[in-house]
């Protein structure tokens, strides 16, 4: 497609086909389809190529977005895929799950009156279609170095690190306790945001590049010591999975669930991997109340709908504008029938023998920004199931301390600089175990940078 100045005036922003809310809640497929080649080229042509690409700077991995938009417009798909992978080892994932409304698209120049370029959907199109047509990363010029690195955690940080290692000729061995790669990409984010065949394809691609996976492997102190001894370096991409404990009275009542175990159990059930430790989360016909306002809370409310809950509500202690998650996800949840209750501070979970509701107080924000509870405003929100989604903290392994790995007061790994070096000369880290709970794309960035740093270190000595 030939570029024309001010094409955005003729072509409105258009997303791929969206499955109607009344239909999509009946299944687990992604709610948006994919672009065809002509649609992707047309939407790419809306880019102004503004010279100072705010979209690129806002992106945590600094994708060269205008450049691969131009390649799509010109029909040069494989070159676009190569360029997308040059900065992002998991572009098809980020195209689906990044909060583009708060990142690249939120800073698109056209967002000031003409609606942003559909960057995320085009990124998804580039990789999905390139893979479908047979494109794969070309590592034919890579020469083995004889070096070996163990990557602990097959989530976004670990996969990004492994990608950069094998591109540098380093043997990457990835260890993870789950049966599939992806970490929370496979076992936390629901399929209506990221269908699991996407991760199956990525696994095949990474294995074709030379990455070796050791799945179903719990890395304890003994195995951790062996890996430190037998490998040239370690990368820790273990995430942050310990739930924040709000200390609510009654939170141990039957019917009170924690967000992450709920999502993981549901993902395992869909994959046919259900384990004895997974609780039986039967929600059909029940009133479900989710406490929290982030993306994980949105994953829970939207999953509850698909599991047949009769009523799904979300209570958040501040206003809608204060919610930490994606505005897009809140819209999807509301479209699907979720009821939102803002300015509700949970005080206790009520019930005798099982949960019956949550006692809350109305809240407002004081002049100093702190939450203020309104007097005589308490009420009980009825619920048969309550899901707690107050965020997550790092989950340090005991053996880290045994090997001198320095942690901060919150249990996060201390690193020096953006490349993930730690207090142990052979250990690097990145993602949520360093940052605390954060975005997929920031974990990808950390893993990429650590992989490059490890390669540089091993090229000399370590």
The partner residues of 114 in beta bridges, in order of sequence, read none
Q: Which two tokens stand for residue 428?
A: 């690097």
- How far is it, in rounded angstroms, from Cα 239 to Cα 13? 35
Q: How many CB atoms lie within 10 A of CB 374?
A: 12
Q: Which two tokens stand for residue 217?
A: 């492997």
Asked if the model's pLDDT at residue 416 lies above 80, the reply is yes
Interior angle at CA 303, CA 302 and CA 307, nearest 5: 120
pLDDT tens sequence across 347-361? 999 999 999 999 999
DSSP states of 41-83: HHHHTT----SS-HHHHHSTT---HHHHHHHHHTT-HHHHHHH
- Mean pLDDT value of segment 41-51: 91
Q: Cβ-count burial of 46 within 10 angstroms (0-12 exposed, 13-18 middle, 19+ buried)?
A: buried
Cα distances (angstroms) measured from residue 407 to each of 31, 392, 433, 434, 435? 40, 16, 10, 9, 12
Q: Which pLDDT belongs to residue 462?
A: 53
The residue that leads in pLDDT, 302 or 49, is 302
For residue 96, give every residue at least 6 positions away whose Cβ sits within 8 Å of its Cβ, in sequence order, or none: 30, 120, 124, 193, 194, 198
pLDDT tens sequence across 159-170? 999 999 999 999
Asked if the model's pLDDT at residue 1 lies above 60, the reply is no
Interior angle at CA 182, CA 118 and CA 394, nearest 5: 100
pLDDT tens sequence across 366-411? 878 788 888 889 999 999 999 999 999 988 999 998 999 999 999 9
- Mean pLDDT value of segment 290-302: 96
pLDDT over 70, % of the chain:
97
What mean pLDDT, rounded, does the chain reach?
A: 93
CB 105 within 8 A of CB 121: no
Interior angle at CA 127, CA 121 and CA 132, nearest 5: 120
Asked if the model's pLDDT at residue 276 lies above 90, the reply is no
pLDDT over 90, % of the chain:
84
CB 55 within 8 A of CB 66: yes
Asked if the model's pLDDT at residue 430 lies above 70, the reply is yes
DSSP code at position 372 = E
- Mean pLDDT value of segment 416-430: 92
Q: Which pLDDT belongs to residue 315?
A: 97
- Mean pLDDT value of segment 289-310: 96
Lowest model confidence (mean pLDDT) among 67-76, 202-211, 415-424: 415-424
DSSP code at position 249 = T
CB 260 within 8 A of CB 188: yes
DSSP states of 101-152: TTTTGGG-GGGTTT----HHHHHHHHHHHHHHTT-----TT----S-EEEEE
Q: How many CB atoms lie within 10 A of CB 462?
A: 13
- Mean pLDDT value of segment 433-444: 95
Asked if the model's pLDDT at residue 36 lies above 80, the reply is yes
Q: Which pLDDT belongs to residue 3?
A: 59
Asked if the model's pLDDT at residue 141 lies above 60, the reply is yes
Helix (H, G, I), strand (E, B) or coil at 205: helix
Q: Which residue has the tokens 């030939």?
A: 2
Domains, the chain, in order of start with CATH, read 7-24+32-132 (1.10.1060.10), 148-241+393-460 (3.50.50.60), 245-390 (3.50.50.60)
The residue that leads in pLDDT, 261 or 325, is 261
CB 119 within 8 A of CB 105: yes
Q: Which two tokens stand for residue 381?
A: 């929100």
pLDDT tens sequence across 84-126? 999 999 999 999 999 999 999 999 999 888 899 999 999 999 9
The partner residues of 27 in beta bridges, in order of sequence, read none
CB 451 within 8 A of CB 163: yes
Q: Which pLDDT belongs to residue 187?
A: 94
For residue 33, give every residue at least 6 positions away whose Cβ sits within 8 Å of its Cβ, in sequence order, or none: 16, 17, 18, 19
Q: Which pLDDT belongs to residue 412?
A: 95
Interior angle at CA 188, CA 410 and CA 401, nearest 5: 30
The residue that leads in pLDDT, 160 or 281, is 160
Q: Which two tokens stand for residue 88?
A: 């992002």
For residue 406, give every residue at least 6 positions away whose Cβ sits within 8 Å of its Cβ, in sequence order, or none: 413, 414, 422, 423
The model's confidence at residue 417, banded by pLDDT at 50, 70 and 90, is confident
Q: Which pLDDT belongs to residue 49?
A: 84
Kindly give the pairing relationship between strand 287-291 and strand 385-388: parallel
- How far is it, in rounded angstroms, from Cα 259 to Cα 10? 44
């Amino acid at each position: 497609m030939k570029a024309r100045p001010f094409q955005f005036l003729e072509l409105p922003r258009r997303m791929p086909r969206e499955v109607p809310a009344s239909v999509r809640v009946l299944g687990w497929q992604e709610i948006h389809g994919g672009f065809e080649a002509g649609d992707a080229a047309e939407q790419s042509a809306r880019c102004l190529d503004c010279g100072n690409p705010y979209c690129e700077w806002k992106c945590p991995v600094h994708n060269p977005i205008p450049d691969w938009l131009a390649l799509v417009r010109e029909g040069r798909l494989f070159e676009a895929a190569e360029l997308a992978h040059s900065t992002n080892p998991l572009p098809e994932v980020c195209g689906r799950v990044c909060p583009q409304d708060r990142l690249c698209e939120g800073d698109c120049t056209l967002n000031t009156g003409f609606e942003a370029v559909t960057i995320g959907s085009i990124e998804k199109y580039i990789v999905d279609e390139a893979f479908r047509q047979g494109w794969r990363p070309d590592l034919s010029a890579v020469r083995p170095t004889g070096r070996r690195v163990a990557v602990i955690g097959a989530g976004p940080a670990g996969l990004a690190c492994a990608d950069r290692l094998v591109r540098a000729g380093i043997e990457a061995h990835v260890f993870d306790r789950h049966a599939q790669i992806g970490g929370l990409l496979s076992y936390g984010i629901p399929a209506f945001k990221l269908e699991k065949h996407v991760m199956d394809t990525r696994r095949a691609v990474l294995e074709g590049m030379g990455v070796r996976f050791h799945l179903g492997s719990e890395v304890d102190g003994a195995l951790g010591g062996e890996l430190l001894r037998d490998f040239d370096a370690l990368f820790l991409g273990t995430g942050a999975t310990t739930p924040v404990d709000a200390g609510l009275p009654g939170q141990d009542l039957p019917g009170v669930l924690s967000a992450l175990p709920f999502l993981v159990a549901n993902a395992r059930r869909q994959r046919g991997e259900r384990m004895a430790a997974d609780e039986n989360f039967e929600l059909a016909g029940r009133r479900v109340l989710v406490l929290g306002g982030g993306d994980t809370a949105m994953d829970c409310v939207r999953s509850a709908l698909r599991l047949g809950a009769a009523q799904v509500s979300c209570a958040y202690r501040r206003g809608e504008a204060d919610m930490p998650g994606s505005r897009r996800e809140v819209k999807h949840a509301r479209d699907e029938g979720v009821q939102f209750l803002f300015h509700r501070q949970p005080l206790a979970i009520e019930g005798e023998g099982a949960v019956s509701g949550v006692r809350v107080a109305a809240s407002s924000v004081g002049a100093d920004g702190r939450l203020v509870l309104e007097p005589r405003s308490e009420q009980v929100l009825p619920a048969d199931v309550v899901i707690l989604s107050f965020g997550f903290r790092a989950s340090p392994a005991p053996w880290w301390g045994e090997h001198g790995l320095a942690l901060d007061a919150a249990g996060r790994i201390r690193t020096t600089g953006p490349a993930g070096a730690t207090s142990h000369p052979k250990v690097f880290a990145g993602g949520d175990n360093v940052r605390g709970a954060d975005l997929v794309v920031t974990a990808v960035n950390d893993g990429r940078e650590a992989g490059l740093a490890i390669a540089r270190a091993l090229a000399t000595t370590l």
